[in-house]
Structure 1
Amino acid sequence: MLSPQEFVTDLFNPALSFLPKALFVALMSSAVCGVIGCYVVLRGMAFIGDAVAHAVFPGLAVAFVVQGNLVLGGAVAGVLTAVAVAVFSQNRRLREDSVIGVFFVAAFALGIVIISRSPGYAGSLQQFLFGSITGIPDEDLYVVAISSAALLVLTFLLHKEFVAVTLDRESARALGLPVFALDLALYIMVSVAIVISVQTIGNILVLALLVTPAATARLLTDRLGVMMLLAPLIGGFSALTGVYLSWSLDLPTGGTIVLAATALFLLAWTFAPRHGLLSRLWQLRRAAVHVHHAGHPR
């Protein structure tokens, strides 16, 4: 296994230029997914995040077949499908999750059909589904950096509105907030965040980057502001650890990042100061002792 010093040496080795690129994309996508994932976790939107990951696939496939930019192709597909879901969901005869199921699975199927028409079908499909540490072209670094910065700025500008809609949709509507437009904006932001992450972590595992760090942060704090600071830090640490272990031990990058994030979640679930398992058991024990003493006064 490589030492951390050897890993740093490899990062600055010109012959391994793909390694720092992969780490950069992993860190940027972790930061963006960590912030936006807080809304996803608080609103119970994990299914939507999974569905969006399917939705971007046909755009990635088209971009691959025509040798275009994967980030832009995936973003266009995700945005178009998000708009379709937001519009069709206005018909309350069908629940939103049903509409999502129809459109996003159809989008994923379309992506498989499109990419099957390209040469090297099996290898490229595996790269899309599970990520590739060596498959990130230089121009995508700029697209990822600009997209990440734009998403973070938009999140900052719309934070109060997103919080209002997240906590109470009806009150937000009564206050005159454009709930439909805010839902659409959040869907689109989730789509772009997922597209940024797909290249390193893969289409199948990308939901973990959106949900797991935010869920971990949720266990550690009751304050949304602190949660939105912790989630990208947790995601970034998972990305760094995952890239280091995957390079050192020759493991799949996406899977290793997800397992690192899951390990942090399990640690928080067990040891979190207020909401961890041990803390809850201690509180129950204290409550039982208190009841015991109250029932047997001296």
Structure 2
Amino acid sequence: MIEIFTYEFMQRALLAGIIASVLCGVIGVYVILNRIVFIGGGIAHTAFGGIGLGYLVGRDPLIFAVLFSVAAALGIGAISDKSRVSEDTAIGVFWAAGMSLGIVFVSVSHGYAPDLFDYLFGNILAVSWSDLLLISVLTLAMLLLVALLYQDLLILSFDPGYGEAVGLPVRELHLLLLCMVALSVVVLIKIVGIILVIALLTIPGAIVRQHSQSLKRIMALAVLLGASFVLAGLTISYQLNIPSGATIILAASGTFFLSTLLAR
């Protein structure tokens, strides 16, 4: 097994997977506790509009995916908070609009988009050093935010009513959390793709939460679980010559079902 990681592309893939595991272990727990998994799905699909725009203007699609993801997070949060439109309706509109924009942008762009499927279904083996740099910067920024606002995010996740009573800016914290989810989505798109991004973001934390109550312990164990899924997925996909992103998710899903049976 060790010899497969002597290849540089496998080393980049493993490093990207470990960084993503750290992010999933921390941000994914907040996604589960705040019950915003569906919002994450809407943001992920809206990001496809940014990817299409990147192809259209000939720039890095991930940069535009960041802009579209953050805009979707702020838009969903603002519309559901300040209008009569329900949250799931706002998510559905952004979801559909982002995907449609992406399709239009790609169709009118010049040339062929050879790695478009990588953004939809992921291709961790194609992660470049520039992708790793962007992923690392985004992950570090979010970990710093979590460290600075840990207590506030804890209150937001478990008792937002108490947070309002003691003067916490609950609405602003909620929007900030959505933006953090948006950036997490961008990090994971290159690894498992838009279609599977929410699975990797939530499954490790969901497994650990079935067996632990301490937030810090859940985060730490979720990071370890995520890294284990990445390692197992890369190894199995290399041996069987099957897609890496899907294999990682299948390893995580299988563990989740087994964990659920044991938790009962």
Equivalent-residue separation in structure 2 for 1:65 and 1:27 (angstroms): 31
8 A contact 1:33–1:194 mirrored in 2? no
Q: Cα distance, 1:91 vs. partner?
A: 2.6
Give the counterpart of 1:255 among 240, 246, 249: 246
- Larger relative contact order (CA 8 Å, sep ≥ 6): 2
Aligned partners of 2:32 and 2:202 also within 8 Å: yes
Long gaps (5+) in structure 2: none
More helix by share: 2
TM-score by length of 2: 0.94
Gaps of 5+ in 1: 278-298
Per the alignment, residue 233 of structure 2 pairs with 242
2:125 and 2:220 map into 1 onto residues whose CA distance is 30
Aligned pairs for 1:282-297 (under 5 A) are none
Q: 1:25 aligns with which of 1, 16, 31?
A: 16
Q: Deviations over 1:43-98 (max 9, x none)?
A: 11111111111121111222234342333221111111111122222234222222
Aligned to 1:9, which of 3, 9, 26? 3
What are the superposed Cα offsets for residues 108-157 of structure 1, whole Å, 9 maximum, x if unpaired? 22112212233324x43322111123432221111111111111111121
Moved over 3 A (4+): 64-67
2:187 aligns with 196
Q: Distance in 1 between matches of 2:205 and 2:107?
A: 35
Q: Please give the root-mean-square deviation of Cα atoms over the aligned residues, in Å.
A: 1.6
**Structure 1 position 160 matched with structure 2 position 154:** no
Partner of 1:53: 44
TM-score scaled to structure 1, two decimals?
0.83
User: For 2:157, what is the secondary structure of its paired residue?
Assistant: helix
Letter in 2 for 1:20: Q
Alignment correspondent of 2:134 = 143
Tell me which of 232, 238, 241 is aligned to 2:223: 232
User: Which residue in the other structure is 1:175 paired with?
Assistant: 166
**Alpha-carbon distance in 1 for matches of 2:43, 2:14:** 23
Classify the secondary structure of the residue corresponding to 2:26: helix
Q: Which residue number in structure 1 is paired with residue 256 of structure 2?
A: 265
What SS class does the counterpart of residue 205 from structure 1 fall into? helix
**Deviation at residue 251 of structure 1 after TM alignment:** 0.8
Instruction: Look up the equivalent residue of 2:141 and give its one-letter code.
Output: A
For these two proteins, the number of residue pairs brought into alignment is: 263
| Partner residue in 1 for 2:57 | 66
Please say which structure displays the higher CA radius of gyration: 1
8 Å CA contact 2:156–2:163 kept in 1: the answer is yes
After TM superposition, give the deviation of residue 267 of structure 1 in Å: 2.3
Question: Which position in structure 2 is the counterpart of 1:213?
Answer: 204
Give the equivalent residue in structure 2 for 1:223. 214
* 2:123 is the alignment partner of 1:132: yes
